[in-house]
Amino acid sequence: MRLRTAVLPLVALVVLSPAAGAGEESNVKSTSELVAIRDAALADDYAYQQVAHLTDNIGPRPSGSPQAEAAVEYVASELRRLGLEVRLEEVRVRRWMRGIDTAELREYPGQAPGTTQKIVVTALGGNTATPANGITAEVVVARNFAELQAMGREKVAGKIVAFDFPFDKRKAANGLSGEAYGEAVEYRATGAKIAAEMGAVACVVRSVGGADYRLPHTGWSAPTGIPAGAVTSEDADLLARLSVQGRVKMHLTLTSENGPEVLSHNVIGDLKGSEHPEQIVIVSGHLDSWDLGTGAIDDAAGVAVAMETAQLIQESHLHPRRTIRVIAWMDEENGGRGHDAYAVAHASEIGNHVAAIESDLGASHPLGFWAKVTPEALPLLKPAQEVLQSFGANLISRVEFSPGADIAPLAQAGVPALGIMQDGRTYFNYHHSAADTVDKIVPQELRENAAAMAVMGYALANLERPLPR
């Protein structure tokens, strides 16, 4: 997940439940089919098996890596086994390879003679490496951009800038994890750029995440020409306390390497519609991940529930009116070239895209969907809401932004776009960290996510008329 997917601004939302406007005529061919899909999903472990294989057997899947391409081949072969028409669409991606990530304090107030203090750090994706033997410089700590600017260039030049902007755990605990992430991720995304403009030799940021287990969180950062990393929240606190007491010098080694562009792929699998095969409903997640963990909640889970949509429909011997297109996107984490390539390749048929659904906020209990749709579209979603109400996944919150990074080009072109609204209260504890592993997924909650995507995807594919734009 990158910045665009997680910033969920406080806008006027229209939240509907099936009770609103009950009795309106359904445009779905058969509600009983939606019930059958829901019940099959809630009793099935197909999605969990796919997540386990992608994470345990293949492992982390950074864009351009051998593991990413192994995952492409696996998902493609599995969709072919399910009977879909499958193709691989080319995506040119940046290959970024992690090297050595270390940091230690070489000088600080109260230091015992002959000692140093370890700082837990991880490199941020795509940034410049330090020399092989690292760099040593004084640290200046700023709580935010304004505080750094107030220091002036003379106090920043030649230093390592440490941004100490906290992830707001209280917001996250109250269901506003996206807002908390959006506030803090600015420092990861552009902090090094601003520090470099003021003459800094490197930049570290407080990890953007909610867990305090001395666990660093990586992620994308705008290329700047200086090394950039993330330190744990505990170490950010340490730097802040020591810097108030006196001079602090850090030795930083980040030897990641930016390799050449390489060829990768989006995986496209079409379950052809029986009446309007040219009209498309997308169900999707992104296949690439960061390298510290194994990318279970971000976002093997999203890919797996999209795959299960096809699996459930096929095993139930159902025939959607429109084509349901399963997409495993590539490069969401480090540039979004997968969705850009898709938008270019399919520009002439954007008008035939009836809707696009994405899952990219983990695998916790789904509450419903964020939906970038017109007000007139909302009544047409009610049959799916009614079916999903049995396990509380029936909310529809109408938003003005794309509810997913990979479907953003489609949403901007006017395609109705929906994102599964997962319970994100603990998502950022594990996001982009070594703790993003399959054990963080509760199987029953993953089944609920599969049910939500499959029911909504099939409902949209079977409307008597497409959603209005």
Q: Are 181 and 7 in contact (CB under 8 A)?
A: yes
Q: Give residue 333's identity as a one-letter amino acid code.
A: E
Q: How far apart are CA 92 and CA 6, in angstroms?
A: 25
DSSP state of 176: -
Neighbours of 189 (CB within 10 A): 18
Residue type, 448: E
> Residues with Cβ < 8 Å from 245, sequence gap 6 or more?
109, 110
3-state helix, strand, coil split of the chain in percent (to 5) is 40, 25, 35
Furthest CA-CA distance within the chain:
79
CA distance 102 to 119: 7
Q: Which residues contact 391 (CB under 8 A, 6 or more apart)?
A: 42, 448, 451
Please report, for residues 59, 207, 416, 455, the alpha-carbon distance to residue 377 in angstroms, rounded to integers and kept in the order given: 40, 39, 9, 17
89 an active-site residue? no
Q: Quote the DSSP letter at residue 220.
A: B
Q: Is the peptide bond before 299 cis (omega within 30 degrees of 0)?
A: yes
Which amino acid is it at 97?
M
Q: Which amino acid type is present at position 354?
A: V
Check 33, 179, 332, 333 and give the catalytic one. 332
Strands (E), 173-316: 202-206, 228-231, 249-254, 257-271, 276-286
Only one residue has tokens 């495993």, namely 328
Known catalytic residues are: 332
